[in-house]
A = this chain, B = another copy of it.
Amino acid sequence: MKAHVLFSGGKDSSLSAILLDPFFDIELVTCTFSILPVGDIAKVTADELGFSHRVLELDRTILETALNIIIEDGYPKNAINFIHKNVIETLAKEDAVSVIADGVRRDDRVPRLTDPEIRSIEDRFGVKYICPLQGYGRSAVNMLVEKHLVIDEGQSDSIAKADYETELRELIRQQYGNEKVIDIFPQHLQSRVLKRI
């Protein structure tokens, strides 16, 4: 059975793929709105991990709607969740896709689908949505990361990642300038996976 794992090149999505690997045929999927070469960045990490990888090009209107949401809100949560839901629905519509996974952890607040959203997607598209790390807290994740991955950590703007935030930040920068990006996104630690141990 094939599992399509949403992949940003970070530790959570990498570890999710590693946890599923003994039980599924893994394909990593990196989404892009073609604002930045995030697919290429993720591919380098996917190759290091030894997983099959593809880039899914998404409709730019999804990112533009997310931009409107984040500018209106002044904070990222709803915009990131909007992108995440649309990404999963886009993937779920593909005929060959029956299992979708992502790197959401127990402590994550964003991105996160609600239980009704998950049930709706599973029922409408006949897919299974799995979050392998949903039952793992931060210290359990860190322990497994230490055992299985070599990572580079730094602030959001210094780490080349392929998550939703990366292209959304870039679109805000292009249209509203860098100060708006700093206004909206709190600085937080990001990780990028360098290799698998």
Does chain B have a CB within 8 A of A128?
yes
Please state if B135 and A131 are interface contacts (CB–CB under 8 Å).
yes
* A132 at the binding interface (Cβ < 8 Å): yes
Task: List residues of chain B with CB within 8 A of the CB of A139.
Answer: 122, 128
**Is A129 on the interface with B (CB-CB < 8 A)?**
yes
A140 is contacted by which of B19, B104, B115, B130 (Cβ under 8 Å)? B130
A82 to B104 CA separation, bound complex (whole angstroms)? 28
Residues of B within 8 A of A115 (CB): 106
* Shortest distance between the CB of A13 and any CB in chain B (Å): 13
- Enumerate chain A interface residues (CB-CB to B < 8 A): 1, 19, 22-23, 99, 104, 106, 115, 118-119, 122, 128-137, 139-140, 143-144, 147
